[in-house]
Chains A and B, each alone.
Chain A
Amino acid sequence: MTASQAVRQVFGFFGFLGRRTGKARVFALLGLMPVVLAVVVRIVFHSRTGPLASVFTEILMVFFLQFYIVILALFYGTSVTAEEVENRTLSYLITRPIPKPAVVLGKFAAYAALMFVLVAVSLGLSYFIMNAAHLADPALYLTFLRYLGVLGLGILAYGAFFTFLGTVLKRAIIVGLVFGFGWENVIQYFPGSTQRFSIVHYLKSLLPYAPEGRSAGKGVALLLFRLEPTSPLLSILALAAITAAFLALACWLFRIKEYLYEE
């Protein structure tokens, strides 16, 4: 079996397993929060249109960009290798005729796909409910795809980083929480080049400054406050490099490291 076939098989196995877990159900419920918010906003402010929908869309994006994808990536990313050690199921995987990096890559891909589906469903429902008055506007769909793309890149970059943390550390969740909700939340507001040491900086750099034909000013400021954006191309390259580098490190570590079960 080639390495890419091995990755595909691991992807298939964990794609199936991932859907069955309680964790997926909990995160799916969490993903309902913005949907409920969108429904409430539509009911309360049903007669008002214009900037209001954009403001709430920005609020939704703050939730997705700075909370939902971070928490998803933290729990799924760190569990790529750590849960196999904690649950002592690692023996079932590393005594198979597949290279160890295929386990990391296949499981990462499976969890990334699962996270993307959770995010896409939650964002799709909440976004279109919130902007129900503009469903005929093609720009709405383009903006949605842009948001979804940014969140997808965020899932990959955060997921890869947390996969690396889970491979190298025993208590990766704690370090991951500090990184995801401490470092990322602070560093992005630093002026100059310091903000470029956060993943969220590149994600925000890919967001539209002013969603076409709608909000300008207040709504946008929620996400782009103090941002000195990097160009879209460089942002995509930076996110791709972060993803590739941390995945490569995770694969290398997983290959050379011994994992001992705690008695």
Chain B
Amino acid sequence: MSVVIAAANLSKWYGNVLGLNDVTLELEEGITGLLGPNGAGKSTFMKLITGQMKPAIGTVTVRGRRVWNNPEIFQGLGFCPEHDVFYEDVTGWEFLTGLLRFYGYAKSEIAERAARALAVVDLTEDKDRLIRGYSRGMRQRIKFAQAIAHDPDILILDEPLSGLDPLGKRKLIRLIKEFKNQGRTVLVSSHVLPEIEALTTRIVLIHQGKILAQGDIPFIRELIEAHPHQISVRSSDPRALAARFVGDRSIQKMTFGPDGQTLVVETHKRDEFFGRLTGVVLEAGLEVEEISSPDDNLQSVFEYLVGK
């Protein structure tokens, strides 16, 4: 497979704040997920590869062509911005046909492409309504439609699933996969792992402007598994519970919460611990009020990887 988007030693500052730090990355055809918490640098990276920003250091190319101030690349590139913003006083149809004007198509082709894009995102019936009156899901879909209406072979989607209900997410995931099945390139960002998992197995992890890791889902899962998990168990007798786990090799550390009713366990083997916990609780006849995992989120995985 050929390299579609290439970034070499890419860095970007916002004044004194580092937005992206020495990123070198090559993206090939298919779907690549850009995963990172809010403020990780995902949008900065996407703005750099869509020519909305100029790199402070390094280069970025799309199919070997420079991006900054090179409008020609947009003939084959579609971008779906993160923000929920539109020209609100136009209808969905006017929005699409208006933007399609910029590709030099004849009027009939503009109408044809707009109609096709609206049909793809199931908005044909609502095409004559003002965007101001669209629901959040419809707005996300019309935003996606403007990115695909000119039939690009590269699609850059910044948090496209954000704010969608489960049904809306499923629809959009299906559309993105269909797009990829036509042999095109998609870069999609998200801060939610399951969203990216539903789209692709190829993931780039980004945090604090740096690429932490890249690989397929099992590789990322391994990294997540290696991350020591905190599990908090609130019970009637946390000390008795702790006594039962003292000799357990799956546990690295145990502390008691400030309320005196909570045992906080740190373990690398979360599943093994949960397997034993049930048995121990039943054996000792303890009453468990709550089990939670305060750091079971992507942010803590990133923090762990950064520390590593």
A1–B103 touching, CB < 8 Å? yes
Distance in Å: Cβ of A107 to nearest Cβ of chain B: 12
Distance in Å: Cβ of B192 to nearest Cβ of chain A: 20
Those of A1-50 within 8 Å (CB) of chain B = 1, 5-6, 9-10, 12-13, 16-17, 20-21
| Chain B residues, CB < 8 A from A89 | 85-87
Q: Does A193 contact B (CB under 8 A)?
A: no
Those of B69-101 within 8 Å (CB) of chain A = 69, 71-75, 77-79, 81, 83, 85-87, 89-90, 94, 98-99, 101
Distance in Å: Cβ of B214 to nearest Cβ of chain A: 25
| Chain A residues, CB < 8 A from B177 | none
Instruction: Give the dominant DSSP class at A's interface.
Output: helix
Q: Does B168 contact A (CB under 8 A)?
A: no
B103–A96 touching, CB < 8 Å? yes
Those of B239-261 within 8 Å (CB) of chain A = none
| Chain A residues, CB < 8 A from B99 | 13, 92, 96
Distance in Å: Cβ of A12 to nearest Cβ of chain B: 6
B79–A95 touching, CB < 8 Å? yes
A-B pair number, CB within 8 angstroms: 76
A93, closest chain B residue (CB): B102
Alpha-carbon distance between A9 and B106 when the two chains are bound, in angstroms: 11
Distance in Å: Cβ of A69 to nearest Cβ of chain B: 24
A17–B90 touching, CB < 8 Å? yes
| Chain A residues, CB < 8 A from B77 | 95
| Chain B residues, CB < 8 A from A13 | 98-99, 101-102
Q: Does B146 contact A (CB under 8 A)?
A: yes
| Chain B residues, CB < 8 A from A256 | 69
| Chain A residues, CB < 8 A from B83 | 88, 91, 261
B89–A98 touching, CB < 8 Å? no
A9–B90 touching, CB < 8 Å? no
Alpha-carbon distance between A194 and B89 when the two chains are bound, in angstroms: 45
Interface stretch among B46-54, B117-125, B227-235, B264-272?
Answer: B46-54
| Chain B residues, CB < 8 A from A260 | 14
Alpha-carbon distance between A18 and B103 when the two chains are bound, in angstroms: 21
Contact of B101 among A12, A95, A261 (CB under 8 A): A12
Alpha-carbon distance between A204 and B24 when the two chains are bound, in angstroms: 60
Those of A78-123 within 8 Å (CB) of chain B = 87-100
Alpha-carbon distance between A17 and B86 when the two chains are bound, in angstroms: 12
Alpha-carbon distance between A20 and B79 when the two chains are bound, in angstroms: 26
B81–A91 touching, CB < 8 Å? yes
| Chain B residues, CB < 8 A from A17 | 87, 89-90, 98
A87–B85 touching, CB < 8 Å? yes
Those of A104-152 within 8 Å (CB) of chain B = none
Q: Does B104 contact A (CB under 8 A)?
A: yes
B54–A97 touching, CB < 8 Å? no
Distance in Å: Cβ of A86 to nearest Cβ of chain B: 10
Distance in Å: Cβ of B40 to nearest Cβ of chain A: 14
| Chain A residues, CB < 8 A from B98 | 13, 16-17
| Chain B residues, CB < 8 A from A16 | 90, 94, 98
Alpha-carbon distance between A90 and B71 when the two chains are bound, in angstroms: 14
| Chain B residues, CB < 8 A from A92 | 81, 87, 99, 146
Contact of A91 among B54, B79, B87, B89 (CB under 8 A): B79
A1–B104 touching, CB < 8 Å? yes
| Chain A residues, CB < 8 A from B85 | 87-89
| Chain A residues, CB < 8 A from B73 | 97
Q: A97-B73, A255-B69 are in contact. List 4 more A-B contacts (CB 8 A).
A: A13-B101, A21-B89, A94-B52, A97-B75
- 24 residue pairs A–B, Cβ–Cβ below 8 Å: A13-B98, A16-B90, A20-B89, A20-B90, A90-B52, A91-B50, A91-B79, A91-B83, A93-B102, A94-B51, A94-B52, A95-B50, A95-B51, A95-B78, A96-B99, A96-B103, A97-B71, A97-B72, A97-B102, A99-B71, A100-B69, A256-B69, A258-B52, A261-B83
Closest 6 CB pairs of A and B: A1-B104, A96-B102, A20-B89, A9-B101, A88-B85, A91-B81
